[in-house]
């Protein structure tokens, strides 16, 4: 049966205002990592902006989710994202705005917003929306996972109060997701359930994308079932907002149009065939047809052997305690977790699906940042503790050089930053997952007599790191940064010298979470893949002789870097060469016969200097090698 109460909340308002069922519009969603879209490689991490489209009639509502992790109400504007959004807006659209997680002010980085400035930045979203004829909806940030009777972070740094103040001053809708989430997470729901099945906390082997699990990000970011709950609360609050007396006449008319496009919601009932008041199992909800279907149960919390999930006709759905990857039905539905020793499965009477004749699959578009990179994607070997090693060669912006004139470096070389105050190098990285307290390792050498402190910036987090002297420039040591905040977005990794001595030589960095890598490259292979590990070891095997690298045979290809020759079995051979600053100087791709091929073709003279070559055969990289060019 359809949920009747939700409809009664706004039927009176709709009876006075004519709203065409054919009215179509876009909801533009602005926010941070708790809101944004994530790639399939990050599943089940999900932002609510990724889910909420399934709560609206897709034939009438388009979702444009431009939220991006790591941004505050200030930096989203400073980066030009709000300005860029203007081109996509049309009169009659909506803009949902949620910020707060990165705005909280501690005076430690540039994205944070002193509370007395928060209203200034939030008002700019209102002004842009009004100018475009778009209705702004303030969505207060959901609370963090603070445990039973925990703090409400966003009434301390009072984003909730500021958004309500601005909503009333401007006559625009206000959605209090904060109170809904705080009540559930800190008052109503079991704290263990909140951590396990709402926030991003995964056990080892629970999800293919996180074979080692994730236990260091259970306070801020959400898995899909958490974002489903947020979406349900948001549409409930939109319906309730029609009763607010402060709304302007135009906002009320537009909000009525928005609410009329919310899909019917049905009872979604989840139970077990054994009794245990402490058992962790998905909560009952009110969900529309076509929404993500997720069922979670923790067998250990019931003390019984789990046998499977069954639907209301007693059909077995899965023997996995986590059931996901499907969509909800267009009717009330009951799902039962069946345990050994419990009652037998009993069918539950239900009606027929009320599948609409028109498509209700919501469409969405989101900004996807892409970049082309001329860097050589050096692959370092991950370890169990340091899952994402990254070679620090060829920064995208720099004051210094990539060098190989000392021994003991890990990949293609090391980065030698200029010996002067405020020398900066910027590397463009990508993270496929979020973490609130990742660890960062920096491998360096400092053959000087004094420490060389550096400012290290990871997206908008700034960390001052000291690099004490090592025995000499051929001796490498490691520095560590704790509690690094990462969002699943492209970001800049910047190192800046804080003294006139410049900085140390930087060999590599590594994060303790998987899926962090150079833009334009690919993440390290799963450590559990033995074939990948052996293949990586084979492709990187080499020997250093008199400063000239001679690469051993891989896929039948070998390189003589002293004479700049390639020996190949034939095929599509691609050669890319960059100089020590990372600038592309030569690239070719051609079909070659078996035998000897010049690395640099005759007639292509390179100036004296240090270069790096990437050689691929039939689309597979077979060698990454430095070489010298002497005077000809």
Query: Which CATH number do you get for residue 75?
Result: 3.40.50.1110
Who wins on pLDDT, 324 or 374? 324
Pair (198, 319) in one structural domain: yes
Q: pLDDT grade, residue 604 (50/70/90)?
A: confident
Q: pLDDT grade, residue 176 (50/70/90)?
A: very high
The pLDDT tens digits for 64-99 are 999 999 999 999 999 999 999 999 999 999 999 999
Q: Is the pLDDT of residue 371 over 60?
A: no
Q: Of all helices (H) and strands (E), which one includes residue 588? A: strand 584-592
Is 283 a member of any domain? yes
Q: How far apart are the first and last CA of the chain?
A: 84
Determine the average pLDDT of the residues in 589-617: 83
Who wins on pLDDT, 529 or 26? 26
CATH number at residue 392: 2.60.120.260
Give Cα 404 distance to the centre of its chain.
Answer: 34
Round to whole Å and give the CA distance between 463 and 460.
10
CATH number at residue 573: 2.60.40
Pair (32, 160) in one structural domain: yes
Is 536 a member of any domain? no
> What is the DSSP pairing of strand 135-139 with strand 174-175?
parallel
Confidence (pLDDT) at 590 = 87
Is 383 a member of any domain? no
Least confident of 105-109, 197-201, 598-602: 598-602
Cβ-contact 170, 126 below 8 angstroms: yes
Q: What is the dihedral of CA 214, 220, 223, 228, to 10 degrees?
A: 170
Is 249 a member of any domain? yes
Round to whole Å and give the CA distance between 53 and 327.
13
Q: Which of 93, 19, 54 is nearest to 360 (CA)?
A: 54
Confidence (pLDDT) at 366 = 35
Confidence (pLDDT) at 607 = 81
Confidence (pLDDT) at 172 = 98
Secondary structure in 3-state letters for 314-334: CCEEECCCEEEEEECCCCCEE
Q: pLDDT grade, residue 18 (50/70/90)?
A: very low
Is 347 a member of any domain? yes
Confidence (pLDDT) at 260 = 94
Pair (491, 551) in one structural domain: no
Confidence (pLDDT) at 108 = 83
Confidence (pLDDT) at 369 = 33
The pLDDT tens digits for 251-279 are 999 999 999 999 999 999 999 999 987 89
Pair (246, 356) in one structural domain: yes
Burial class (CB in 10 A: 0-12, 13-18, 19+), 472: exposed
Round to whole Å and give the CA distance between 624 and 619.
14
Looking at the DSSP bridge assignments, the partners of residue 479 are 442
What is the pTM (predicted TM-score) of this model?
0.73
Q: pLDDT grade, residue 563 (50/70/90)?
A: confident
Is 271 a member of any domain? yes
Q: Of all helices (H) and strands (E), which one includes residue 573? A: strand 571-579
Pair (296, 437) in one structural domain: no
Who wins on pLDDT, 627 or 472? 472
Is 371 a member of any domain? no
Round to whole Å and give the CA distance between 596 and 565.
7
Q: pLDDT grade, residue 21 (50/70/90)?
A: low
Pair (395, 444) in one structural domain: yes
Pair (207, 294) in one structural domain: yes
Cβ-contact 262, 82 below 8 angstroms: no
Pair (40, 143) in one structural domain: yes
Q: pLDDT grade, residue 581 (50/70/90)?
A: low
- Total tally of structural domains belonging to the chain: 3
Cis peptide bond N-terminal to 466, omega within 30: no
> What is the DSSP pairing of strand 25-30 with strand 61-65?
parallel
Who wins on pLDDT, 402 or 610? 402
Indicate the angle between helix axes 159-170 and 115-132, nearest 10 degrees: 40
Measured CA to CA in angstroms, residue 430 lies from 2, 39, 376, 415, 496 at distances of 43, 12, 15, 19, 20
Pair (258, 128) in one structural domain: yes
Confidence (pLDDT) at 31 = 98
Confidence (pLDDT) at 356 = 76
- The last residue of a domain, from among 333, 365, 397: 365
Pair (586, 479) in one structural domain: no
Domain extent for 623:
541-629
Round to whole Å and give the CA distance between 198 and 226.
4
- The last residue of a domain, from among 454, 483, 518: 518
Q: Is the pLDDT of residue 58 over 50?
A: yes
- The last residue of a domain, from among 319, 334, 365: 365
Pair (614, 482) in one structural domain: no
Round to whole Å and give the CA distance between 533 and 382.
9
Q: Is the pLDDT of residue 445 over 70?
A: yes
Q: Is the pLDDT of residue 370 over 50?
A: no
Q: Is the pLDDT of residue 290 over 80?
A: yes
Q: Is the pLDDT of residue 221 over 80?
A: yes
Percent of the chain with pLDDT over 90: 62
Confidence (pLDDT) at 262 = 96
Q: pLDDT grade, residue 8 (50/70/90)?
A: very low
CB within 8 Å of 504: residues ≥ 6 apart: 444, 445, 446, 452, 454, 467
Cβ-contact 305, 340 below 8 angstroms: yes
Confidence (pLDDT) at 7 = 41
Who wins on pLDDT, 535 or 570? 570
Determine the average pLDDT of the residues in 137-153: 95
Pair (162, 297) in one structural domain: yes
Burial class (CB in 10 A: 0-12, 13-18, 19+), 249: exposed
Least confident of 6-20, 296-310, 375-389, 453-467: 6-20
CB within 8 Å of 222: residues ≥ 6 apart: 34, 45, 46, 47, 48, 198, 199, 200, 230
Q: pLDDT grade, residue 616 (50/70/90)?
A: confident
Confidence (pLDDT) at 522 = 82
Q: What mean pLDDT, rounded, does the chain reach? A: 86
Confidence (pLDDT) at 375 = 55
Cβ-contact 250, 227 below 8 angstroms: no
Is 202 a member of any domain? yes
Q: Is the pLDDT of residue 610 over 80?
A: no
Least confident of 120-124, 162-166, 169-173, 390-394: 390-394
């Amino acid at each position: 049966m359809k949920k009747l109460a939700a409809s009664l909340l706004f039927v009176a308002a709709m009876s006075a205002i004519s709203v065409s069922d054919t009215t179509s519009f876009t909801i533009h969603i602005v926010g941070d990592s708790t809101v944004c879209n994530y790639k399939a490689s990050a599943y089940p991490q999900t932002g609510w902006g990724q889910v909420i489209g399934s709560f609206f009639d897709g034939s009438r509502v388009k979702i444009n989710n431009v939220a991006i992790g790591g941004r505050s109400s200030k930096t989203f504007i400073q980066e030009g994202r709000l300005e860029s959004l203007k081109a996509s807006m049309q009169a009659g659209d909506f803009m949902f705005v949620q910020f707060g997680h990165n705005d909280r002010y501690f005076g430690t980085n540039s994205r944070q917003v002193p509370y007395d400035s928060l209203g200034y930045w939030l008002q700019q979203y209102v002004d842009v929306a009004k100018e475009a004829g778009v209705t702004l909806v303030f969505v207060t940030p959901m609370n963090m996972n603070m445990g039973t009777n925990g703090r409400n972070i966003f009434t301390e740094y009072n984003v909730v109060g500021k958004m309500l103040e601005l909503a009333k001053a401007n006559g625009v809708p206000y959605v209090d997701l904060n109170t809904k989430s705080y009540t559930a997470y800190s008052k109503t729901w079991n704290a263990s359930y909140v951590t396990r099945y709402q926030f991003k906390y995964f056990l080892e082997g629970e999800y293919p994308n996180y074979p080692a699990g994730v236990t260091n990000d259970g306070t801020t970011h959400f898995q899909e079932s958490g974002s489903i709950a947020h979406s349900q609360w948001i549409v409930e609050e939109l319906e309730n907002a029609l009763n607010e007396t402060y709304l302007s006449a135009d906002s009320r008319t537009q909000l009525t149009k928005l609410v009329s496009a919310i899909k019917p919601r049905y009872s979604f009932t989840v139970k077990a065939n054994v009794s245990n008041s402490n058992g962790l199992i998905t909560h009952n909800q009110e969900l529309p047809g076509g929404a993500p279907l997720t069922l979670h149960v923790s067998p250990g919390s019931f003390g019984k052997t789990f046998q499977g999930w069954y639907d209301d006709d007693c059909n077995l759905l899965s023997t996995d305690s986590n059931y996901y990857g499907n969509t909800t039905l267009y009717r009330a539905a009951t799902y039962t977790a069946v345990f050994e020793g419990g009652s037998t499965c009993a069918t539950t009477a239900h009606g027929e699906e009320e599948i609409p004749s028109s498509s209700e699959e919501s469409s969405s578009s989101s900004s996807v940042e892409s970049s082309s990179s001329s860097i050589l994607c050096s692959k370092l070997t991950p370890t169990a503790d340091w899952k994402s090693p990254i070679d620090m060669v060829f920064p995208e912006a720099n004051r210094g050089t990539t060098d190989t004139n000392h021994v003991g470096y890990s990949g293609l070389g090391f980065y030698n930053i200029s010996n002067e105050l405020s020398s900066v190098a910027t590397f463009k990285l990508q993270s496929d997952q979020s973490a609130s307290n990742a660890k960062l390792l920096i491998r360096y050498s400092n053959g000087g007599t004094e420490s060389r402190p550096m400012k290290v910036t990871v997206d908008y987090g700034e960390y001052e790191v000291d690099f004490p002297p090592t025995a000499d420039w051929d001796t490498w040591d490691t520095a560590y940064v704790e509690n690094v905040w990462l969002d699943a977005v492209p970001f800049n990794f910047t190192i800046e010298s804080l003294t006139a001595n410049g900085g140390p030589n930087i060999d590599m960095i590594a994060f303790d979470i998987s899926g962090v890598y150079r833009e334009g490259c690919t993440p390290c292979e799963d450590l559990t893949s033995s074939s990948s590990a052996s293949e990586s070891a084979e492709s990187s095997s080499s020997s250093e002789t008199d400063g000239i690298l001679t690469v051993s045979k891989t896929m039948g290809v070998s390189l003589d870097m002293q004479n700049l020759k390639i020996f190949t079995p034939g095929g599509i051979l691609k050669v890319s060469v960059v100089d020590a600053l990372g600038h592309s100087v030569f690239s070719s791709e051609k079909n070659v016969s078996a035998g000897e091929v010049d690395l640099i073709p005759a007639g292509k003279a390179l100036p004296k200097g240090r270069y790096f070559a990437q050689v691929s055969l039939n689309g597979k990289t077979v060698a990454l090698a430095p070489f010298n060019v002497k005077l000809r």
